[in-house]
């Protein structure tokens, strides 16, 4: 009797169990989700909270792929919340920063450095014939250019301008033509302008140079999509005697020497920066303050349109940390006597500008960390 009873109970139990298993399988997908813990609901609320139960569709911005949603495409320019950023460069246009030091012959010392605007040009010209022998005494003027080989062919020349230094003691500098393309290596050029008056000859010899290196430390600078390095321009006035006629009394040879460091390139457009930021809401850049070969680290948060910079201490440059804002292709920061003004170049892959640490100035350039050139 007991054996039969147990057999009946077991049979009923198996039948009920198969029904429960089928029922569980049927409802498993409905209950196990981020909104339901299934049979464990009594222990903890679901990870996803209450499911969306609205009668209408969600907003359109929530129906797109994640990389197309507004929250993944930060707007880094315009709007009512535009940060107060110094607009150093026009988006999508050539722009450059420079430091400018002038040698004062009377004081026998350097004056500066100060900050200035830098413009670099490359063009093709017809190679002119070099100047010949000086004309006879009293006969007009002669100009000779040492960049010329006299071939009459087409050559590439590079020249630069340093302007807007903000003081009478720092006049605009216009370089002579330098044969070659600076992207291929360092370039130099010389120009000689000679005047003959009353048997006296006066020559002005000008030398210009661009170099990819720091002249004090030897650090060679190669950045992504920008030109950067050292610039110099020297003008030398020479007086001479011709046929026994004395040069102007009291006149002495005079050197006017200008030099500094620079960075120059094509800035990113606002559209390029927003595409760049959509793929990299946060981006870091590594580089140098060129004048001192001091290390630089820049961290940008394009979603919040903010940035933080660490300027290292090296070779006489005192480092510091600073935070600022981003607006389109430009970024800047100001903290007491310290300030940074910069712009994004090469579609956002390079960040360059000018820095003032409160006691001296410099220009810096930094490449996106994930895209540093070897």
> Would you say residue 365 lies in a domain?
yes
Query: Which residue is listed with tokens 């196990």?
Result: 32
Residues 209 and 255 in one domain: yes
Residues 248 and 160 in one domain: yes
State percent of the chain over pLDDT 90.
Answer: 53
Determine the pLDDT at residue 263.
98
Q: Which of 279, 283, 329, 303 is nearest to 75 (CA)?
A: 303
Residues 189 and 327 in one domain: no
CA quadruple 313, 317, 322, 327: dihedral sign: negative
Residues 284 and 365 in one domain: yes
DSSP-derived 3-state class of residue 12: helix
Residues 219 and 153 in one domain: yes
Residue 136 has pLDDT above 60, yes or no: no
Determine the pLDDT at residue 273.
96
Residues 243 and 284 in one domain: no
* pLDDT digits 0-9 by tens, 278-289: 988 999 999 999
More confident residue, 248 or 7: 248
Residues 141 and 255 in one domain: yes
Structural domain count, the chain: 3
Task: Supply the pTM of this predicted model.
Answer: 0.73
Residue 318 has pLDDT above 70, yes or no: yes
| pLDDT grade for 146, boundaries at 50, 70 and 90 | very low
If you average pLDDT over every residue of the chain, what do you get? 78
| pLDDT grade for 300, boundaries at 50, 70 and 90 | very high
Range from 180-194, 231-245, 267-281, 282-296 carrying the lowest mean pLDDT: 231-245
* pLDDT digits 0-9 by tens, 10-62: 343 434 344 444 444 444 444 444 444 444 343 345 555 555 454 444 444 44
> Would you say residue 219 lies in a domain?
yes
Rounded to whole angstroms, the Cα distance separating 310 from 324 reads 12
> Would you say residue 223 lies in a domain?
yes
Range from 139-148, 229-238, 339-348 carrying the lowest mean pLDDT: 139-148
Write the CATH number for 365. 2.40.160.90
H-helix or E-strand spanning residue 27: helix 2-31
Name the domain boundary from 228, 261, 294: 261
Residues 129 and 220 in one domain: yes
Residues 303 and 191 in one domain: no
Name the domain boundary from 233, 261, 289: 261
> Would you say residue 272 lies in a domain?
yes
Judge whether 268 and 92 are in contact, CB under 8 Å.
Answer: yes
Residues 224 and 277 in one domain: no
Rounded to whole angstroms, the Cα distance separating 195 from 19 reads 112
Residues 154 and 234 in one domain: yes
* Domain extent at residue 158: 111-261
Judge whether 173 and 154 are in contact, CB under 8 Å.
Answer: no
My answer on whether omega of the bond before 33 falls inside 30° of 0, hence cis, is no
Residues 117 and 25 in one domain: no
Residue 332 has pLDDT above 70, yes or no: yes
> Would you say residue 72 lies in a domain?
no
């Amino acid at each position: 009797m007991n054996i039969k009873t147990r057999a009946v109970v077991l049979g009923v139990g198996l039948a009920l169990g198969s029904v429960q298993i089928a029922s569980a399988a049927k409802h498993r997908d409905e209950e196990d989700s981020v909104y339901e813990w299934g049979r464990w609901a009594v222990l903890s609320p679901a990870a996803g909270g209450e499911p969306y139960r609205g009668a209408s569709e969600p907003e359109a911005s929530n129906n797109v792929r994640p990389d197309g949603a507004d929250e993944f495409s930060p707007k880094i320019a315009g709007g009512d919340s535009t940060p107060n950023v110094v607009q150093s460069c026009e988006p999508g246009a050539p722009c450059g920063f420079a430091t400018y030091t002038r040698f004062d012959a009377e004081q026998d010392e350097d004056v500066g450095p100060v900050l200035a605007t830098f413009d670099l040009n490359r063009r093709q010209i017809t190679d002119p014939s070099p100047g010949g022998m000086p004309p006879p005494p009293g006969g007009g003027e002669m100009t000779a250019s040492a960049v010329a080989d006299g071939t009459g062919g087409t050559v590439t020349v590079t020249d630069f301008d340093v302007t807007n230094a903000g003081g009478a003691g720092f006049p605009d500098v216009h370089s002579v033509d330098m044969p070659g393309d600076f992207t291929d290596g360092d370039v130099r050029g010389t120009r000689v302008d000679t005047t003959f008056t009353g048997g006296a000859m006066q020559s002005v010899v000008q030398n210009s140079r661009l170099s990819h290196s720091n002249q004090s430390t030897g650090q060679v600078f190669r950045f992504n999509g920008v030109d950067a390095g050292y610039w110099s321009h020297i003008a030398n006035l020479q007086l001479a005697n011709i046929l026994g006629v004395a040069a102007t009394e009291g006149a002495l040879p005079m050197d006017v020497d200008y030099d500094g460091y620079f960075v120059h390139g094509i800035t990113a457009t606002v559209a390029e920066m927003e595409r760049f930021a959509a793929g990299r809401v946060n981006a870091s850049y590594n580089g140098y303050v060129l004048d001192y070969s001091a290390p630089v680290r820049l961290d940008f948060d394009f979603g919040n349109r903010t940035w933080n910079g660490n300027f290292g201490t090296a070779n006489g440059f005192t480092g510091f940390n600073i935070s600022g804002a981003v607006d389109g292709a430009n970024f800047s920061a100001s903290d007491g006597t310290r300030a940074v003004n910069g712009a994004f170049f090469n579609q956002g892959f390079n960040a360059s500008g000018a820095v003032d640490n409160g006691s001296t100035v410099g220009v810096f350039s930094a490449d996106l960390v994930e895209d540093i050139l070897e």
